[in-house]
Chain A
Amino acid sequence: MPSTTSATRATTAADPGPLRPPWSARALVAAGLLVAAVAVTWLTFWWIGLSPASLAAGLDDTARLLRRMWPPDLSGTGDLAWMVAETLLIAVAGTGLAVLASVPLAFTAARTHRGPRWLRPAARVVVVLTRAVPTLAFAILFVRIFGLGPLAGALAVAVHSVGMIAKLLADAVEEADPAPAEAARACGAGEVQVAVSTVLPRVFPALTAIVLYRLDINIRASAVLGVVGAGGIGVALQTALGSLNYHRAAGIICVIVVLVLLLELLSVAVRRRTRAGRSTGDTSGAAALPAGRAPHDVGWDRGRVLRVAGAAATGVVFLASLCSLDLDPGRLSGAWPNLRGVLTGMWPPAFSGDLLMAVLESLLMALGAAAVGAACGLVLALLTAVNTTPWRPLSAVVRVLLVVVRGIPDLVYALLFVAALGLGPFAGFLALWISSTALAAKFFADSLEQLDPLPIEALTSVGARRSQTFAAGTWPQFVPSFTGNGLFVADMALRESVVLGIAGAGGVGYLMQESIATLRYDTTAAIVIAIAVIVYAIETLARIARRHLL
């Protein structure tokens, strides 16, 4: 890059050389994303007829609804407790089934796979498809096949989770050191033996982390599965809202919020424990063999007792959760013809103009809400992050508020806004806007706190103002994670937007539910394909943009 001509030219005092930086792909991508975000937001506002007046009226209606919901009705504690338990069992059963299916799938989908050539692409298609279609969409389908109840919910949770768990696990498998596998192969081990003895132990910590993370997501998802009749506490929410019993609905939403908050506290505690446990685990592993123990005897130290007890407890909980799903043989055999009917009815997929318009509406709702949400989230993140907040106590208040707002599932917001504002994409947009804002604020605050403080210190020492320090030091460092996280929020909003229609909040979800109810599975298939294509396209776009902006 440094040519001698430019160097000599720069040294002459009269001609300083070029003072305008050359155009870079990075600047073009950044400008393109910004323009796209503004354009999509404007298009969304036009589509849903959003104006300051309609927004004010909408907030007014929402406030009125919230007043009608007060006080929340929390009667029937036993019933509520049972519904919470069922919600948890659905999540546990679904996650457990997903883990069982995704371990072999991950090994097949990983780049290190050594089986037949065609297996890997096939596994990847399964991973992409199951990840692209939302839990609730599977739930609608499975309610049709297996009937109402938690079995459909658990299977929906399981199928959708398989994609994510398998993808993350496959990444971990690919990163594992290949040397032990080579050594095992050299000893004559088969490929399954190699996987079980050398790769599985290395990816086990990653697997545990992935599963806990997914369980967290699945419990939140299970709370609303009942809206489509797939069991859990959502059934009661749907009943209460359907019968206009708003006090009861408020009570159930409170229970969901408390459940999610407890979960949040638990997962923070678990994460802290596993992080602490890892450092102590290393030292205990280095301990010498205790005297008086036979060399072949592993023995029972405290760590092993805890591990085995933990594994046994996990297994028992998983089995119990499976038993709670009413797996009677009659029901399963009845499901078989249903499944055949659904699958044969799906071919050929029936695309139509209405369908594509509905898909477009979902897309606009999601991208518009994500763009506005990212902007609002940025402001909230700057208030929250410890290194940018103007006032520490404010930071703590916003942080707690964000956890509560994130705790309420999108579909609950959608149900509320539909109840307040009526059917249509306006309600869906508001629901996605709230959840996108909260999600973006959390991601942005986390990455703001990880920025390098040295340039900030240097700018302070130069005598720059706070605003200048932000523009010259904080913002340029923040751009990559802002874009990456912003695109991720858009991705999440898109997945949610296709199911909000179930609550009547616009988009393709309503059509999907209707097509299943009226046995038009060819339409269902077309919708699923359209969703998968769009989700995959957005993901690819995000990956490309991220690579150019780093």
Chain B
Amino acid sequence: MIGDPVLRLSEVGKGFHGTPVLDDVSLDVPQGQFLALVGPSGAGKSTLLRLVNGMHVPDSGTVRTLGENPATCSRSRLRALRARVGFVFQQFGLVGRLSALENVLMGSLATLRLPRYGVMSYPRALRVRAVAHLDRVGLADRRFQRCDTLSGGQQQRVAVARTLLQSPELILADEPVASLDPAASVLVLDILKRISAEDGISVVCSLHQIEFALATADRVVALRGGRLALDEPAADLTAERLREIYDTAGGRDA
């Protein structure tokens, strides 16, 4: 399984309005790896994830995602690249007034030409696949329920199903469980972990709960003040060692 890395960051730097957020970050993610990105808020985790799918552009260094450079490729190529990269948001990014099924179906938009509105505007084959993905996250029976009537954990599972419909080769998850209660968090992370293991999809998941990172990830990368502070297999780490990163960061950043 050691081929080209799915994702390669080389000496990447990024700032907003003159404030540096990421500084000289280099990182390779091989295929099938579940990587937990940890660090205090403001450490640059979200920014790093958004550099990977071209929602932000780096000030220096290069990002190569699935062999493409999202900062320099054309608009249509960027769309094609984004279709291959799943993104799971902290606040789900669902359209609350629409059904779970329609939200999942939106994951297929990059493969379709025309705008779509309404479940029936999507081809039947896609609807069958969307239901199958909803089933995989345990929500097939909620397919026609409005998303804003689902619980937070259910909404995040719908968002994961939407990502699955993209048939992604890489999944980015930005604090996917920060808005969820502990039981729902475990469920969502289990689903992500299972997808990564069963389908061989790399997952880069930012988390701020150390316990979740240790329990779920193959590898833990810690960011502190925009720099890499730690990069080790999860098996070699203890909660105490990781917590030191937070404590020292709190002292230095404040």
Contacts and interface: CB of A to CB of B under 8 A. Distances in A.
Given A461-B87, A463-B80, A11 B140 contact: yes
B140 A454 contact: no
A19 B125 CA distance: 10
Nearest to B147: A455
Contacts of B116: 468, 471-472
Interface string A8-20: 0011010011111
B201 to A, nearest CB: 16
A474 B69 CA distance: 29
A473 B95 contact: yes
Interface string B109-143: 11010111101100010011001100100001111
Interface in A1-58: 1-3, 6-7, 10-11, 13, 16-22
Contact of A457 (B93, B97, B99): B93
A293 interface: no
A468 B107 CA distance: 11
A462 interface: yes
B197 interface: no
Contacts of A464: 79, 106, 109-110
A480 B148 CA distance: 15
B98 interface: yes
Interface-centre pick from A3, A22, A468, A479 (highest chain B CB count, 10 A): A468
A16 B132 contact: yes
Interface in A435-462: 452, 454-455, 457-462
Given A468-B109, A470-B115, A472-B117, A10 B95 contact: no
Nearest to A453: B93
A10 B109 contact: no
B82 A458 contact: no
Given A457-B55, A473-B95, A462 B162 contact: yes
Contacts of A2: 141-142
A462 B109 CA distance: 7
Nearest to B119: A21
B246 interface: no
B117 A476 contact: yes
Given A461-B53, A472-B109, A480-B97, A19 B131 contact: yes
A472 B124 CA distance: 18
22 contacts: A1-B142, A10-B143, A11-B135, A18-B144, A21-B99, A21-B120, A455-B94, A458-B92, A458-B93, A458-B159, A458-B162, A461-B93, A463-B80, A463-B82, A463-B110, A464-B110, A468-B109, A471-B116, A472-B115, A473-B95, A475-B117, A476-B97
B81 A463 contact: yes
Interface-centre pick from A455, A461, A472, A473 (highest chain B CB count, 10 A): A461
Interface residues of A, number: 38
Interface string B75-98: 000111111010101011111111
A6 B117 contact: no
A461 B173 CA distance: 12
Nearest to A27: B118
Contact of A463 (B109, B119, B131): B109
Contacts of B144: 18, 21-22
B126 to A, nearest CB: 10
Nearest to A8: B141
B131 A16 contact: yes
A462 B115 contact: no
Contacts of A284: none
B145 interface: yes
B240 to A, nearest CB: 36
A24 B198 CA distance: 38
A279 interface: no
Name the 5 nearest CB pairs between A and B, nearest first. Answer: A458-B93, A463-B110, A471-B115, A10-B140, A463-B83
B132 A462 contact: no
B82 A461 contact: yes
B101 interface: yes
A207 B91 CA distance: 37
A467 B80 CA distance: 16
B106 A10 contact: no
B166 interface: yes
A10 B135 contact: yes
B117 A471 contact: yes
B51 to A, nearest CB: 13
A218 B29 CA distance: 66
Contacts of A302: none
